[in-house]
Amino acid sequence: MAPGFTKISERVIHQENWFTFLAAEFDGPAGERIERYVFRHPGAVGVVPVDGDDVVLVRQFRPAVEMEMLELPAGKLDVPGEEPVDAARRELVEEAGLDAPEMVELARFHNSAGFSDELTIVYLATNLIPAKPVAVSVEERYLSVERVPLDQVLRLVADETITDAKTIIGLLAALRHLGR
């Protein structure tokens, strides 16, 4: 906890199998009482699958923004006991129909620290191996897999074709890691 801030209470507003929404009260450094809504999240993973000079992305419908997004294969850390790198490999197979024998961690970041504790870990996957995709949600059944040349990534971010935060962070970290 930051110096001068003290948590006073938490009250669960709603809880599901993988998330909790709560109201939390804190006292500030000068005794100010603040209440904030907090979304507790198990965390997530994303994968930057690089095949030669291309990155493999998925385009899928995202209900929260009511549109299709071009993004990294990714998913929640919602399997008890599963290591993040194994979850990343699972998501890569499920969504992109690819596997990777080795993954390198590129970045860890808090998605929206103003209201959620969600931490996302993004990995780089190379030496890709074809695998059978296994859609586990309605959105995944209708997603499309798209290969994008790495030299087009910065343009797609700049022109707002890609607006998903984990995808932007992952792609930029991958480009840096690959020296591109």
Active site residues: 139
166: left (phi over 0), alpha (psi -120 to 50) or beta: alpha
Residue range 105-112: mean pLDDT, rounded: 97
For residue range 126-166, what is the model confidence (pLDDT) as tens digits?
999 999 998 888 999 999 999 999 999 999 999 999 999 99
- Is the predicted pLDDT of residue 100 greater than 80, yes or no? yes
Please tell us whether the domain made up of 44-108+117-177 is placed in CATH 3.30.390.30: no
C-alpha 144/C-alpha 33 separation (Å) is: 48
Domain boundaries, the chain: 6-40, 44-108+117-177
pLDDT digits (tens, 9 = 90+) for 15-72: 998 999 999 999 999 999 999 999 999 999 999 999 999 999 999 999 999 999 999 9
**Predicted TM-score (pTM) of this structure:** 0.93
Give the torsion through C-alpha atoms of 22, 108, 81, 85, to 10 deg: 150
Q: Tell me the C-alpha distance between 164 and 109, whole Å.
A: 13
